[in-house]
Amino acid sequence: MRRFILSSVLIALGATAALAQSPAIAQRKDALKSMGNALRPVGPMLRGEAPFALADVQEALKVITEKAPVAAKLFPPDSKEGGETKALPAIWTDNAKFTALFAKLEADAKAAQTSITDEASFKANMPKVLGNCGACHNDFRAK
């Protein structure tokens, strides 16, 4: 009986959290999580902790080029709060810079898709793509 009550409470809390989160927040979290998951194998390759795998790099770049322009549009003014968002107010006060970072991320990822053909070109070009992620996280995402 206790398990049933606990399960019911957890389900109700989950439903409440889902209702409190705007559709834009949920969609952008999905888009950003997709990019993060796609990039997960890339870091160890850059650090020399995993062997270079061109297919994984190209897949990560493909996901970025698909999701970056989508994610950039998922920060409407009514999504500043709720859903445990880590979005900082700077997104809306300096939106031109914010959206420009997403455009640069997409452009750099597209360029990297054609320029990365081996480990040397990967190590030369992938940091440019990843630098966009860091720039956005530093200025527009709560720690």
pTM beyond 0.85, yes or no: no
pLDDT of res. 22: 80
**Residue ranges, the chain, pLDDT below 50:** 4, 6-10, 12-19
**How many angstroms separate the CA atoms of 121 and 16, rounded?**
47
Written as six digits, the tokens of 142 are 């709560």
C-beta separation of 103 from 109 below 8 A: no
CATH of 22-140, one of 1.10.287.10, 1.20.1070.10, 1.20.120.10, 3.30.470.20: 1.20.120.10
Q: Which residues pair with 142 in a beta bridge?
A: none
pLDDT of res. 82: 83
C-beta separation of 136 from 32 below 8 A: no
**How many angstroms separate the CA atoms of 143 and 135, rounded?**
13
In order, the DSSP letters of the chain are: -HHHHHHHHHHHHHHHHHHHS-HHHHHHHHHHHHHHHHHTTHHHHHTTSS---HHHHHHHHHHHHHHHHHHHT---GGGSSSTT--B-THHHHTHHHHHHHHHHHHHHHHHHHHH--SHHHHHHHHHHHHHHHHHHHHHHB--
pLDDT of res. 17: 45
pLDDT of res. 21: 58
Residue with tokens 């455009």: 103
C-beta separation of 70 from 31 below 8 A: yes
pLDDT of res. 63: 98
pLDDT of res. 9: 46
pLDDT of res. 137: 94
